[in-house]
Structure 1
Amino acid sequence: MTQTITTEQAQLIVDCQAQTLQLWQNQQLVRTFSISTAKNGTGQLSGSGCTPLGRHKISEKFGEGLPINAVFVARQFTGELYDEALAERFANRDWILARILWLEGLEEGYNRGENAQGICVDSKSRYIYIHGTPDTEPMGVPLSHGCIRMRNQEILWLFEQVEVGTQVVIR
């Protein structure tokens, strides 16, 4: 098993245009993943359904030790495991599977707190995650509701590599 990369060594770079997430360690590229960011594009405002830009950190991790197809609602394991039958029963659910890396903005007034007009731009209170999604969902295409979606096997691997506090830059 690979040793967890410390927060001082690691950085995640999310490129919304290229639809990729890169893990960097000591300024060396470790791995690149195809992802899916927001269908509504990039933006900071609460309720926009957009992926927020700027500097973030992983504030919390959820799902350690759970099965690969574990289903989450409000960061809680529902006890369900995603499969075709469950997908058919809940066809309109925005599936959050496998693991969750909850992001917190680091730029006051931009992706943290409120902007100059007093509107919420806080990534954490918007519940912006890096999380797993069904294998039937395409990667490389912006289709999420604001979060950063990854393949379940890949989020499992990434979850083991990063710690709370790891820097995440979304551009």
Structure 2
Amino acid sequence: MTYKENFMTQIVISIAQQTLTVYKRQKVIAHYPVSTAKNGMGSQQDSGCTPLGQHIIAEKIGGSAPSHAVFIGRIATGEIYNAELGALNPERDWILSRIFWLSGLEEGINKGSDSQGSCDTYQRYIYLHGTPDSEPMGVPLSHGCVRMRNQDIIELFEQVEEGTPVNIIAQ
């Protein structure tokens, strides 16, 4: 896929609706439920909030990993998530199956710093990623990332490339 084709594909994430919509040539080609931050919207480092604004998919990670593969620091651990593993590690924030690492495009909004300090989406490690299937979608519960069902993130991984625009909106 060329850069021009990437520009024809766009992802819009709605915080209010808790949805992710994929557009190709301005037509909806996919629509998924998501879970954004429990702490709401915001860009500050350590806020636990989901950043608004224009982003791109900076890196796609995990393309050859099995469904429910566990990632820590963007590296597959070799574990495959199941309810027993979850019960043994209740404190872990599970990042599963695939990762899209986002990078903000708006200086002082979701890139670099603002008057309150760092607001950089990429440096905050904000991802779109899979989560345990027992986690509810349509409810803000994440630590800042955008969580998706494993089947959905795997499907999305095949539809978009690095450089694809991602717009995170409040409505």
What TM-score, normalized to structure 1? Answer: 0.95
Tell me the amino acid that sits aligned with residue 123 of structure 2.
S
Q: Count residues with an aligned counterpart.
A: 168
> How far apart are the structure 2 equivalents of 1:101 and 1:121?
18
1:76 match: 75
Whole-Å separation in 2 of the counterparts to 1:44 and 1:76: 25
Runs of 4+ residues over 2 Å off in structure 1: 3-6
Q: 2:16 matched to 1:13?
A: no
| Alignment partners' CA distance in 1, 2:91 and 2:75 | 19
Corresponding residue for 2:47? 48
Q: Distance in 2 between matches of 1:8 and 1:87?
A: 38
Distance 1:69 1:6 in 2: 30
Determine what percentage of the aligned residue pairs are the same residue.
52
TM-superposed deviation, 1:118: 5.4
Q: CA RMSD in A?
A: 1.4
Letter in 2 for 1:134: P
Structure 2 Cα separation of the partners of residues 21 and 60 of structure 1:
18
Q: Indicate if the aligned counterparts of 2:44 and 2:116 stay in contact, CA closer than 8 A.
A: no
Q: Does 1:107 align with 2:93?
A: no
Structure-1 residue corresponding to 2:159: 161
Q: For 2:28, give the aligned amino acid.
A: L
**Could you tell me how far apart the structure 2 residues matched to 1:145 and 1:158 are?**
21
Aligned to 1:150: 148
Query: Aligned equivalents of 1:39 and 1:99: distance in 2?
Result: 21
Q: Is the contact made by 1:6 and 1:162 (CA closer than 8 Å) also made in structure 2?
A: no
Structure 2 CA distance for aligned equivalents of residues 16 and 26 of structure 1 = 23
TM-score norm. by structure 2 comes to 0.95
How many Å separate the matches in 2 of 1:139 and 1:118? 31
Deviations 1:109-133 (A, max 9, x none): 1100001x25000000000000000
Identify the residue that residue 134 of structure 2 maps to in structure 1: 136
Matches within 5 A, 1:27-42: 27-42=26-41
Please list every run of 5 or more consecutive structure 2 residues that lacks an aligned counterpart in the other structure.
none
Cα distance in 2, alignment partners of residues 122 and 65 from structure 1: 28
| In 2, Cα distance between equivalents of 1:91 and 1:134 | 12
Q: Which amino acid aligns with 2:162?
A: V
Structure 2: how far apart are the matches of 1:118 and 1:51? 16
Report the 3-state secondary structure (helix = DSSP H, G, I; strand = E; otherwise coil) of the residue aligned with 2:113: coil
1:98 match: 97
How much has 1:6 moved relative to structure 2?
A: 3.2
Contact 1:6 1:163 survives alignment (8 Å): no
